[in-house]
Structure 1
Amino acid sequence: MLIEDEIESRKFRYTKPRTPEETVSAIYEELSIVPNDKDRRSSERTIKGYLHAIQEHMSDSRWAEERRHKMRSSAEAISLWTCGGLGLFLVLMSSQASSDITWWNSVSYFVFVFGTVLTVMFVAASIEKSSTVTQMLKYNSVKLLCAFLFSAAVVYSSAQASTLLNGIFGVDSSNLPFARALLSAAFFMKMCTPVLFILAFFSLAHIVAIWVATKEEDFYSFPWGSVIFIVAALFSAGSYWWITHKALGDDQIKVKAYKLAHYLDFNSKAYCIDSSSTESYLFFGNDQNKLLIDQKLEIDESFEDFLKGTASLGEVTIPSRFKVLPCTPNDRALKKAAITPQDGSPPIDTDAGSQSGYAN
């Protein structure tokens, strides 16, 4: 009621001040009276009213921005928790495979792999969005150092893969591009084993957060995401260790490299000789004019068997030497007459124009 009286008693609402004293009074009215802007026309507002409206608008905008930020953070957290929880659930379900359910047995490993991928994604995203990593990645020097270390690791891993393949087949690894690519990834993973210490550090931080939350005894503020992270980190660390030290351990990596080369880079036929169903062929040389011949691997195994099966390793014997022949369209007739001795000596060619040998 008092504000309404002040508004009605405004002397200079419609009157222009004529003297300095009236000007001061008009300024006072503009700076002291705040009419109800929602019920008043804009012509009846004062300067203080406009300032008050601006302040309210800024407060509303700040509150709305904070609310949007909280909603985005909540949505991200829920998405991450869903990803991690679903991944762990799929991993748990895949371990319940029963021989009585044929269709489930056929897809259980795919479910396990998919659940593992979701779990690793959850752990990696949780670490990336942590304040420590976020603040560190703001500096260009940190990004440059990470890029340098990554490049060095990739080059070293590729060199390790090339050395291994060359030691097996005796040819340049560039002739085995697919096997070399996968082996490079395997050696890269083996090099990155210290990443487990990072998982341990963040897991310890989440354990501390859980310990602090248990003292507050507030169910709604309990960090359930930390619980999911710890379980997911333990599973990811165990899987990583198993892959790098068991499935791709030093005692198995050579045989698996040999099998990968046969699966991915060897050919079942060669145009320059009469191909045999018991042999596999690798073209190499500057013009792909040489042919490395090896016995075909008669192993029918899935990706799961290849990765974690050890029974088949005993069935694979890596030859110490491989038969090598020149390979051009004109050599086809000559290769038909090639004879391979049984005593391990170089093959004897019935045609003097034919060339053959062995690669160590």
Structure 2
Amino acid sequence: MLDMFFNSGTELKYKSRSPLTSEEVLEAIHEEVSNDEKKNRGGAIDRTLKTYVGDILEVLEEFRREERDKKEDAESSVWHALLLLAIIAIVLLVNGTHGNPDFDWLDENSFAFKIWGTALAMLYLGVQIERLSVFRSLWQYGFTKLIVSVSISGLVVFSTAKAASAINNVFAVDASVFSFTLTFVSALIVFKYLSSFVIVLGLVAGIHTLNFIGWVRSKSWSDWYDSVPINSFFLIVFSIVVMGFCWGWSHRYLDDEYMPEKVYKLARVLDFNDKHDCSNVTSDMPVVFMGASKDIVLVDPNNTQVVSVQSFLEDGVEVPSSFVRKKCDL
């Protein structure tokens, strides 16, 4: 019925004049939405609403394509960075765990390699967990951040109090005298309490273990497993390493039974002074200056030496039962 109003010519009818009747208005609207651009008698191009909408759709599609490419490039960069991080961590852990008797330098620094390898493994796991949709969904809410901030603040305050008590139990003086020791012991206690949250790593590793087992059982490329789940493999391995590391530190190095030794050795390195001008104290006795005028010293009778981080963690030491306090005579 409306065909009688449609323009069947090669030129757009209502580009040169306006429609006058309702039928012509309908015909003009149909002309704009159904016709592509056409040449008029003068050779110029008459563009229609359809062509403008088509141009807008092309621009939007190009924008979506660029955004998708940027997102894919960013994901690819993160994946390659994580892959490089994982490879470096594996190399450090292998050299740190087994050592290499053929190369003295590697053998001497095996403990440092183990520590750095574990630190990189923790970094890898932290980034992977942060990329989880569950974590990102929860972290976008301010209440989640508030609860985490309050919890961490409370843990730091509690750990500082525990550290001050541990220092007082060893030296029988106020913990403020050992300011550096107080800071480091507090950090160790925070780490000890946070290490209990490695159970989260166990849950994440369990999920990725199922993913990896599923790929192994598929025995072929499929829609569900386009490629080797290398991230799942690294996450499982690093989760085992970090959980073992945290458990070992919590039970072997930071247990309450060994905390006095760690406090004493940290104080010996950080706060005791090997040189002093007190004439009534032998020069080979390290001291800590106390009092408002720093005229009183706390003397370490053992003069224990801590030569490395490894010796600090692994070597046992006899903590003196008492420390001598003297007035420093110049």
TM-score (structure 1 length as normaliser): 0.79
Q: CA deviation at 1:247?
A: 2.1
Equivalent in 284, 287, 298 of residue 293 of structure 2: 287
Equivalent in 234, 248, 263 of residue 254 of structure 2: 248
Residues 265 and 282 in structure 1, CA contact (< 8 A), matched pair in contact too: yes
**Closer/same/farther in 2, CA of residues 156 and 293 from structure 1, 3 Å limit:** same
What are structure 2's unaligned runs of at least 5 residues? 1-6
Q: CA deviation at 1:270?
A: 3.0
Residue type of the alignment partner of 1:85? I
Which whole-Å CA distance do the structure 2 matches of 1:42 and 1:104 have between them?
79
Residues 284 and 290 in structure 1, CA contact (< 8 A), matched pair in contact too: yes
**Closer/same/farther in 2, CA of residues 273 and 7 from structure 1, 3 Å limit:** farther
1:82 paired with 2:84, answer: yes
1:324 maps to 325
Residue type of the alignment partner of 2:145? K
Residue type of the alignment partner of 1:318? V
Residues 195 and 247 in structure 2, CA contact (< 8 A), matched pair in contact too: yes
What pairs with 1:1-360 in structure 2 (closer than 5 Å)?
8-13=10-15, 15-17=16-18, 19-20=20-21, 24-35=26-37, 43-214=45-216, 217-218=220-221, 220-299=226-305, 301-308=307-314, 310=315, 313=316, 316-327=317-328, 331-332=329-330
Matched-pair identity in %: 26
TM-score (structure 2 length as normaliser): 0.86
Q: CA deviation at 1:175?
A: 0.6
Residue type of the alignment partner of 1:143? K
Which whole-Å CA distance do the structure 2 matches of 1:290 and 1:104 have between them?
45
Residues 264 and 319 in structure 2, CA contact (< 8 A), matched pair in contact too: yes
**Secondary structure, aligned partner of 1:325:** strand
Q: Work out the number of aligned pairs and report it.
A: 316
**Closer/same/farther in 2, CA of residues 322 and 298 from structure 1, 3 Å limit:** closer
Q: CA deviation at 1:149?
A: 1.1
Residues 289 and 326 in structure 1, CA contact (< 8 A), matched pair in contact too: yes
Which whole-Å CA distance do the structure 1 matches of 2:75 and 2:238 have between them?
21
Deviations 1:227-258 (A, max 9, x none): 11010110011011111211222332211211
Q: CA deviation at 1:305?
A: 2.1
Which whole-Å CA distance do the structure 2 matches of 1:167 and 1:138 have between them?
43
**Secondary structure, aligned partner of 2:307:** coil
Residue type of the alignment partner of 2:156? V
Q: CA deviation at 1:273?
A: 2.7
Q: CA deviation at 1:296?
A: 4.7
1:344 maps to none
**Closer/same/farther in 2, CA of residues 252 and 321 from structure 1, 3 Å limit:** same
Residue type of the alignment partner of 1:226? S
